[in-house]
């Protein structure tokens, strides 16, 4: 070009692609549009129509402490956990939130509040951690809790809250609490957004004190903004409900009812004798992810610049067979010394840098949940990236 090419396009010893009329393919967010194809096939089966007189009230029609929750949603949440076997829900409280994002803050509020200490409670998670934890916590500047970084480095003898994200965002690993030997001082929030059969083996029914789930990553309906918490202690659940009351006075009834009918169809689709002819939701999504992971691994093996994590196979109680892990994100490492996000952006691929997750710049997180077209374009562009012959280191 006429000298207007930005300098960074020429760096890193990587041959830049000079002619990209197309816009960047954005795989930065974990936007679950991959699931659209399934729901198109399901057609009108879980369409919800509502008349003008329905659901005017602030209150839900349930009888639980989560006073704004619709009974049908609670029923379908409990059923889906039973069908998949991924979590113990009997005897526990369900709290619905506007996405699990709202419940992350509600959980921190509830746990920090019950501690009743004058200093902000330290909140940690093992790196690489979900980038929103520090961002949400620091954004608030509350006196109740503060972000204290990588759980593996935390060694203070004070109460703390640890986020255990399993499977983990960004790297897909299965996790347990990382802070050691803190006895009664630690409180755990298990963020199980990805503990569903399309992503990983369901090895046991999770039975933790406070577990978070979201429709976004389970059914793909991120736009509905429905998440839920499964909570053992009543006083914690009550405080979470109070937080949501102060925040939004509840959660949209339209969204709750639509999510409920989507979950109902998923549960139905999993049953052996089906009254309807829809393909099993988890089979469909696992197959799609398996195919995408295979194609990505093929490209990565060919071009030598990148590497991907490997995952062990486990027996899945839901499928009754050994299954592989197909995370919602690819956590890709570039060759030493290369800024991964920058390199891929030069090739019109939008990713999220490892630095956002408390990690190294060689790493990027790439969403595996985009639409087919975007995923194909991503693979095509990735396959064209070559180390230059005369690359300066």
We find the least distance from the C-beta atom of residue 229 to ligand PMP, in angstroms, to be 11
We find the least distance from the C-beta atom of residue 212 to ligand PMP, in angstroms, to be 7
CA distances from 344 to 10, 163, 319, 373, 387 (A): 13, 30, 37, 18, 13
Q: Of 12 and 125, which CB lies nearer to ligand PMP in the complex structure?
A: 125
Q: Of 189 and 265, which CB lies nearer to ligand PMP in the complex structure?
A: 189
Q: Of 28 and 346, which CB lies nearer to ligand PMP in the complex structure?
A: 28
Q: Of 148 and 224, which CB lies nearer to ligand PMP in the complex structure?
A: 224
Q: Contact residues for ligand PMP (CB under 6 A)?
A: 30, 99-101, 130, 165, 169, 191, 193, 214, 216, 222, 227
Q: Of 338 and 363, which CB lies nearer to ligand PMP in the complex structure?
A: 363
- Strand ranges (DSSP E) for the chain? 25-26, 93-98, 121-125, 145-150, 160-165, 186-191, 210-214, 226-231, 306-307, 314-316, 321-323, 329-334, 349-350, 352-353, 363-367
We find the least distance from the C-beta atom of residue 16 to ligand PMP, in angstroms, to be 31
Separation CA 62–CA 288 (nearest Å): 36
We find the least distance from the C-beta atom of residue 58 to ligand PMP, in angstroms, to be 22
Give residue 76's region: left, alpha or beta (phi > 0; psi -120 to 50). alpha
Separation CA 38–CA 46 (nearest Å): 12
Peptide bond into 172 cis (omega under 30): no
Q: Of 347 and 352, which CB lies nearer to ligand PMP in the complex structure?
A: 352
Give residue 193's region: left, alpha or beta (phi > 0; psi -120 to 50). alpha
We find the least distance from the C-beta atom of residue 133 to ligand PMP, in angstroms, to be 8
Backbone angles phi, psi at 230, to 5 degrees: -110, 115
The number of beta carbons lying within 10 Å of the beta carbon of residue 248 is: 13
Separation CA 369–CA 187 (nearest Å): 31
- Report the residue count for the chain: 393
Strands 329-334 and 363-367, by their bridges, are antiparallel
We find the least distance from the C-beta atom of residue 157 to ligand PMP, in angstroms, to be 28
CA distances from 40 to 33, 47, 135, 235 (A): 11, 11, 35, 42
We find the least distance from the C-beta atom of residue 240 to ligand PMP, in angstroms, to be 15
We find the least distance from the C-beta atom of residue 286 to ligand PMP, in angstroms, to be 18
We find the least distance from the C-beta atom of residue 365 to ligand PMP, in angstroms, to be 10
- Closest-CB residue for ligand PMP? 99
Q: Of 30 and 186, which CB lies nearer to ligand PMP in the complex structure?
A: 30
Separation CA 333–CA 339 (nearest Å): 10
What contacts 79, CB < 8 A, 6 or more positions away? 263, 264, 267
Q: Of 12 and 354, which CB lies nearer to ligand PMP in the complex structure?
A: 354
Distance of CA 181 to the CA centre of its chain: 28
We find the least distance from the C-beta atom of residue 214 to ligand PMP, in angstroms, to be 3
CA geometry: angle 345, 349, 350, nearest 5 deg: 75
Backbone angles phi, psi at 350, to 5 degrees: -90, 120
- Cβ(104)–Cβ(193) under 8 Å? no
Q: Of 130 and 199, which CB lies nearer to ligand PMP in the complex structure?
A: 130
Q: Of 83 and 106, which CB lies nearer to ligand PMP in the complex structure?
A: 106
């Amino acid at each position: 070009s006429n000298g207007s090419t930005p300098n960074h396009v020429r760096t890193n010893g990587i041959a830049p692609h000079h002619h990209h009329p197309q816009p960047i393919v954005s795989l930065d967010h974990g936007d679950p549009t991959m699931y659209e194809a399934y729901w198109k096939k399901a057609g009108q089966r879980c369409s919800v129509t509502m008349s003008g007189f329905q659901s005017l009230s602030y209150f839900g029609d349930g009888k639980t402490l989560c006073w704004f929750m619709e009974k049908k949603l609670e029923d379908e949440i409990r059923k889906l956990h039973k069908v998949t076997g991924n979590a113990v829900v009997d005897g526990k409280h369900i709290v619905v939130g506007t996405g699990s994002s709202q419940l992350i803050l509600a959980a921190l509020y509830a746990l920090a509040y019950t501690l009743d200490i004058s200093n902000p409670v330290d909140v940690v998670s093992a790196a690489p951690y979900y980038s929103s934890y520090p961002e949400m916590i620091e954004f608030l500047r509350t006196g109740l809790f503060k972000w204290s970084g990588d759980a593996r480095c935390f060694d203070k003898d004070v109460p703390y809250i640890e986020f255990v994200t399993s499977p983990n965002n960004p790297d897909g690993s299965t996790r347990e609490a990382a802070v050691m030997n803190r006895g009664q001082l630690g409180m755990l929030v298990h963020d199980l957004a990805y503990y569903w059969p399309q992503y990983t083996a369901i090895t046991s029914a999770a039975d933790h004190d406070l577990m978070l789930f979201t429709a976004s990553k389970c059914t793909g309906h991120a736009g509905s903004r429905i998440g839920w918490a499964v909570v053992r202690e009543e006083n914690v659940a009550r405080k979470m409900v109070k937080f949501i009351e102060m925040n939004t006075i509840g959660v949209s009834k339209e969204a709750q009812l639509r999510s409920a009918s989507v979950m109902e169809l998923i549960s139905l689709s999993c049953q052996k004798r089906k009254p309807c002819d829809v393909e099993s939701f988890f089979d469909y999504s696992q197959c799609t992810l398996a195919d995408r992971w295979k194609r990505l691994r093929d490209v990565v093996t060919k071009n030598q610049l990148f590497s991907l994590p490997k995952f062990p196979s486990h027996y899945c109680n839901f499928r009754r067979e050994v299954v592989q892990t197909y995370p919602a994100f690819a956590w890709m490492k570039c060759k030493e010394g290369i800024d991964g996000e920058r390199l891929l952006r030069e090739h019109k691929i939008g990713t999220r840098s490892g630095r956002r997750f408390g990690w190294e710049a060689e790493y990027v997180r790439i969403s595996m949940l985009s639409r087919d077209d975007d995923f194909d374009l991503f693979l095509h562009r990735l396959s064209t990236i070559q180390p230059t012959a005369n690359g300066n280191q």
